[in-house]
Structure 1
């Protein structure tokens, strides 16, 4: 596996720490998917789960969009992958999905999230609520780190199941 992640610094201000840890976890997902064929990326975990590495990429593209563009910035845009009609479409509908499209969408959502995040103070409150709650930008960044960390654990197991590769 190619690993070009930059480890987060041990010392830095809060924004740098949050951004670096989030980027570390974004990079970890990329590492877990590196060098696999579309068929391998579609390989499911274990029934009844429909989880796959491709599903994780699609899911995290969606999560980036929702938290940064829709919740934090207030954009009026649809959810990805038809999730408005089928809430689990990111995971369930990977059999005919394009890995190239999924990765391009994920990378584009990350870039847009970075742009939005760079222009918002950490204490700023989101323009939209989530489940009836206001969210600070800081909370969103911490949540995104948690979201990636949890799913990277899934990615570890999926990758090991596919070809035996393990690693941080």
Structure 2
């Protein structure tokens, strides 16, 4: 999936839940638009004064998607987070993202977003 394939979101008419889901999807769409299509070099570049990279941020957001909605749904967090020790070592994702290919990072995030949507609809 490519960031352009993320569903376009329109402002819903509804209550607080609909507005919250709209805001979340809009933030996802914007993040995908801003980072989508970047190559390995751009994703791995640090942005002073921080050592943060966009690669690390993509992987971190995938973890946040899975972690939050798994907990909210009462489900265990699944791979790759459970087997690679992210929960015990927050730096693992930021550091390991530097060796991940862009397609892997984007795929991880898109898949986590889809799981989150499914869990939130189920909730």
Q: TM-score, normalised by structure 1?
A: 0.60
Query: CA 1:67/1:40 → structure 2, altered by over 3 Å: closer, same or farther?
Result: same
Q: What are the Cα deviations for residues 104-156 of structure 1, in whole angstroms up to 9, with x where unaligned?
A: 11111111111111121xxxxxxxxxxxxxxxxxxxxxxxxxxxxxxxxxxxx
What stretches of structure 2 of length at least 5 have no aligned partner? none
Cα contact 1:59–1:90 (8 A) shared by 2: yes
C-alpha displacement of 1:59: 0.3
How many residues get paired?
Answer: 117
Cα contact 2:59–2:105 (8 A) shared by 1: yes
Structure 2 CA distance for aligned equivalents of residues 114 and 5 of structure 1: 11
Query: CA 1:102/1:27 → structure 2, altered by over 3 Å: closer, same or farther?
Result: same
Query: CA 1:77/1:34 → structure 2, altered by over 3 Å: closer, same or farther?
Result: closer
Query: CA 1:76/1:15 → structure 2, altered by over 3 Å: closer, same or farther?
Result: same
C-alpha displacement of 1:76: 2.2
Q: 2:30 — aligned with what?
A: 28
Cα contact 1:56–1:91 (8 A) shared by 2: yes
Query: CA 1:50/1:92 → structure 2, altered by over 3 Å: closer, same or farther?
Result: farther
- Judge which range, 9-18 or 108-117, deviates more: 9-18
- Structure (1 or 2) with the greater helix fraction: 2
What stretches of structure 1 of length at least 5 have no aligned partner? 121-168
Structure 2 CA distance for aligned equivalents of residues 97 and 46 of structure 1: 21
Q: 1:160 — aligned with what?
A: none
